[in-house]
């Protein structure tokens, strides 16, 4: 098994045994979610994490990418509190700092180094792509940035909080509220409707004063799935499933969206729609970190960090 999958398996198993409280028309029921219930390969991570953002007007489309005839992505939500992050034009503060980070895994008697002396800053409101070939360490870096794992050495700071100084419970809450995860394989629960899937993260973490059900409905309208709220994942296309996953990632209004190969299971036209959706969210002030191996997809970002052989080989805007 590739090293990058070790942490993914660990966290999937943790999530698979978690009891999740579901609400159905005001009646509580407990459901145990098993690994088999997730619409993704068994080695995928099952995570989530947003609240108030405003997106207006048409999506800007890159001339060199395939476009769609579908109606442009629009929003009726209030403007995000992160919307001013780019207005200072380069003076935005770092929302994530990775300082002298090393990561190794122990396999039997052998220690396998994966990341070496990683230093990286992600500015608030930035659209960053982390690119690299398979086995380069980019997924491990994603796990560390997303607080799904801890570094062997070094420090990772999110919004001024050092992960090394936080308890596991504090890290879990910080991750649940400040990071929204979007994965290649969607990771939707097959027996839940689109609306219930979007609402799901709020049973672990939620923000005060927000009605999760109404918030989930607003987000599904935001991503163009107002007429699919009661549909289950098996009744949705790949593009629709990824839109549900994006809405789910936004349910607790995180500071950061972390997308791991978000178009990997989509055709080029649908992938272009999803990427333009990311661009519009970013233009509204949302910080986005996207993991990819494709230079064309990385071209949507403001800055590209190339990871190879466990080190950052280039960092270009």
User: Which CATH number fits the domain that encloses residue 50?
Assistant: 3.40.50.300
Q: Is residue 144 part of a domain?
A: no
Q: What are the Cα distances from residue 79, in Å, to 82, 210, 253, 297, 315?
A: 8, 15, 11, 27, 31
Is 80 exceeded by the pLDDT of residue 56? no
Q: Quick one: pLDDT at residue 93? A: 81
> What distance lies between CA 96 and its chain's CA centroid?
14
- Name the least confident of 23-27, 121-125, 213-217, 261-265: 23-27
Ranges of H-type helices in 231-289:
238-249, 268-283
Q: What domain range is 13 assigned to?
A: 4-90+126-132+181-316
- For residue 23, tell me if it sits in a domain: yes
Task: Tell me how far apart the alpha carbons of residues 22 and 204 are, in angstroms, rounded to a whole number.
Answer: 11
pLDDT higher than 90, residue 200: yes
Q: What is the pLDDT of residue 57?
A: 33
CA distances from 83 to 96, 176, 195, 246, 286 (A): 17, 20, 26, 18, 7
The answer, yes or no, to whether residue 253 has pLDDT greater than 80, is: yes
pLDDT value of position 90: 52
Q: Which residues contact 294 (CB under 8 A, 6 or more apart)?
A: 131
Query: 101-125 pLDDT, tens per residue?
Result: 999 999 999 999 999 999 999 999 9
Alpha-carbon distances of 193 from 22, 31, 105, 220, 235, rounded to whole Å? 11, 14, 38, 12, 10
Average pLDDT of the segment spanning 202-231? 94
Residue 19 lies in a domain: yes
The verdict on residue 48 lying in a domain is: yes
173 occurs within a structural domain: no
Residue 72 in domain: yes
Q: Look at residue 91 in the predicted model and tell me its pLDDT.
A: 62
The answer as to whether 11 is a domain residue is: yes
Rounded distance, CA 243 to CA 265, Å? 13
Number of domains in the chain: 1
pLDDT at 294 over 80: yes
Instruction: Provide the pLDDT for residue 316.
Output: 82
């Amino acid at each position: 098994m590739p090293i990058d999958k070790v942490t993914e398996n660990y966290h999937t198993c943790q999530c698979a045994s978690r009891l999740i409280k579901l609400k159905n028309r005001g009646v509580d029921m407990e459901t145990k979610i098993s690994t088999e219930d997730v619409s993704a390969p068994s080695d995928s991570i099952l995570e989530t994490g947003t609240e108030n953002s405003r997106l207006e007007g048409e999506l800007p489309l890159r001339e060199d990418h395939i476009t769609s005839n579908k109606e442009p992505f629009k929003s009726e939500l209030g403007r995000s509190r992160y919307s001013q992050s780019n207005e200072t034009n380069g003076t935005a503060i770092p929302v994530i700092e990775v300082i002298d980070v090393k990561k190794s895994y122990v396999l039997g008697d052998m220690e396998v180094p994966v990341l070496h002396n990683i230093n990286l800053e992600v500015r608030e409101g930035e659209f960053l792509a982390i690119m690299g070939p398979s086995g380069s360490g980019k997924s491990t870096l994603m796990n560390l940035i997303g607080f799904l794992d801890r570094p062997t050495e070094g420090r990772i700071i999110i919004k001024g909080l050092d992960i090394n100084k936080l308890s596991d419970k504090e890290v879990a809450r910080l991750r649940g509220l400040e990071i929204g995860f979007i994965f290649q394989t969607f990771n939707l629960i097959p027996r839940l409707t689109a609306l219930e899937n979007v609402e799901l993260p709020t049973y672990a973490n939620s923000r005060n004063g927000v009605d999760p059900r109404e918030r989930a409905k607003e987000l599904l309208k935001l991503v163009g799935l107002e007429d699919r709220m009661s549909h289950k994942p098996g009744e949705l296309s790949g593009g629709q499933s990824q839109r549900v996953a994006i809405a789910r990632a936004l349910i607790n209004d995180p500071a950061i969206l972390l997308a791991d190969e978000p178009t990997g299971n989509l055709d080029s036209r649908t992938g272009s729609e999803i990427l333009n959706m990311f661009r519009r969210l970013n233009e509204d002030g949302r910080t986005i970190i996207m993991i990819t191996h494709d230079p064309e997809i990385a071209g949507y970002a403001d800055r590209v960090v190339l990871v190879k052989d466990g080190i950052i080989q280039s960092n270009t805007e």
